[in-house]
Structure 1
Amino acid sequence: MDLPRSFTIRESSHRILNPFTPEKLATLGAAIGLRPGATVLDLCCGKGELLCTWSRDHGIAGTGVDISTVFLAAARERAAELGVGERVRFTHGDASTYVAGEPVDVAACVGATWIGGGTAGTVALLERSLRPGGTMLIGEVFWRAEPPSQEAVEACHATSRDDFGTLPGLFEVFDGLGYDVVEMVLADEDSWDRYYAAQWRNLRTWLDANPDDELAPELRAELSREPMRYVRFRRHLLGWGVFALMKR
């Protein structure tokens, strides 16, 4: 059970595996009022930057779950680097079935709501680990503008317009599930750039070093295609943010 190599190549230089900058991640941690000793569960934690930096900055303890052995190795190295290895731990496993052994103060899925089959299913999954009165964090994509064509939809990694909602539509979903939105931090075009443009350099660096690898033709085609699709469509059509929710 692991991610395909293409994922780890594409995001090899990234610490944050979504369109957030370190500054936005820090803003989110401060905005939700983290306290020393608070417990955090992060499903699909990637390289663990959320848990590691919040443990360093706020004294939280936490668990991260991810399917990628490469990402988890990087997360453990980061925890050791920041001196928080005794407060955060990382588990290799299927986040779609993971439930914390004890209820946590903050339950998060930041940018991987496919593990619950969408926003509502992921909220239901996180509820199983969240203490009463705790804070849930959902990272989700949304349309900033109406896609003009099917080509635009597919360039945004969707199959149809209905795959993503709008920002008001997301708030309606949260409201219908019985949650108040109590904070949010949204990506902007610069943070999208830092996420996607860094992938192009990672791909090019890898291709230069591995021209005969079996993945080289696929990743060469991706590097030739994706930058233009990003600047033509994705950069101005897609929004992304992390929403802090509390049950009514």
Structure 2
Amino acid sequence: MNREEISRLAHADHPIAAPLDDESVRQLLRHAVPRDDTRVLDLGCGGGEWLLRALTAYPRLRAEGVDIAEAALAHADRSARARGVSERLVLHHRDAADFTAPHAFDLVLSVGAAHAFGGLDGTLAAAREHLAPGGRVLVGDGFWTSEPSPEAVEMLGALTDLPTTVERVVAAGWTPVHGHVSTRRELDDYEWAWTGTLASWALDRPGHPDGPRALKAAADHRDGWLRVYRDVFGFACLVLRPTA
């Protein structure tokens, strides 16, 4: 059982791989999708849930997703077929940071995948390369709600507080036109879903050779969340338009 498989199992009951409830996702897409026939790109799409929801909500929308996780892309393909939207979805198995396309996109989204680009600045730079004139970007990343411990920084990276994060975005040439800050309930629901779903998978399969590792991964994640970053970590999604 590798990290990709652990992540897939842990997100089974929370397919949006970020601390957002269904209504928050719906509202973000409503503000991010400029029109019904939008062409959308998800950089680091994982199981493709953002794209699947957009394709379902907007029947003329076309979407492409990029990810290095082959199993996640296979899951996205199966889900798209089950929802009847596979004809409008193209999936690319490659590193999102190296992806190129012959056309631009009206919406580029990347939520919770900043690590693939070396951080938020790199994510925004990559998104700009794919953006059509008049397009929008939907980006989601973490921030510190208070001073983090060195252990929290080591675990989650060099984040900043929310005002500084938004200032960096603006300085990079973007104007926020909508945003969402995850609530405490969204943050906790996500972490309980991650750890609980993975632990339940193992407990439901006594004797499975991967059970002990799954239980340990769930316990380690839960311990890091509760002891290290729960009280200092926040998550924000921003809908952005280029300033110039």
TM-score w.r.t. length of structure 2:
0.89
Aligned to 2:36: 36
The amino acid that maps onto 1:87 is R
- Determine if contact 1:47/1:71 at 8 Å carries over to the other structure: yes
Equivalent residues, number? 240
Rounded Cα–Cα distance in structure 2 between residues aligned with 1:143 and 1:182: 22
Runs of 5+ consecutive residues of structure 1 not aligned to the other structure: none
Aligned-CA RMSD value: 2.1
TM-score w.r.t. length of structure 1:
0.87
The 5 Å alignment of 1:1-248 reads 4-59=4-59, 60-147=61-148, 149-154=149-154, 157-158=155-156, 163-208=158-203, 209=205, 211=207, 213=209, 215-248=210-243
The amino acid that maps onto 1:138 is V
Rounded Cα–Cα distance in structure 2 between residues aligned with 1:122 and 1:151: 24
Report the CA distance between 1:211 and its aligned residue. 4.1
Report the CA distance between 1:120 and its aligned residue. 1.3
Report the CA distance between 1:218 and its aligned residue. 4.0
The amino acid that maps onto 2:130 is S
- Determine if contact 1:10/1:200 at 8 Å carries over to the other structure: yes
SS state at 1:29 partner:
helix
The amino acid that maps onto 2:75 is A
Rounded Cα–Cα distance in structure 1 between residues aligned with 2:136 and 2:106: 6
- Determine if contact 1:27/1:185 at 8 Å carries over to the other structure: no
SS state at 1:99 partner:
coil
Distance 1:76 1:4, change over 3 A: closer
Deviates more, 1:187-196 or 1:37-46: 187-196
Report the CA distance between 1:201 and its aligned residue. 2.1
Report the CA distance between 1:227 and its aligned residue. 2.5
Distance 1:219 1:88, change over 3 A: same
Report the CA distance between 1:233 and its aligned residue. 4.2
Report the CA distance between 1:217 and its aligned residue. 4.4
Rounded Cα–Cα distance in structure 1 between residues aligned with 2:4 and 2:53: 27
Rounded Cα–Cα distance in structure 1 between residues aligned with 2:225 and 2:76: 28
Distance 1:78 1:34, change over 3 A: farther
Distance 1:197 1:108, change over 3 A: same
- Determine if contact 1:41/1:100 at 8 Å carries over to the other structure: no
Distance 1:115 1:212, change over 3 A: same
- Determine if contact 1:140/1:240 at 8 Å carries over to the other structure: yes
The amino acid that maps onto 1:15 is P
Rounded Cα–Cα distance in structure 1 between residues aligned with 2:64 and 2:206: 35
Deviations 1:6-27 (A, max 9, x none): 3223323331111112211101
The amino acid that maps onto 2:156 is A
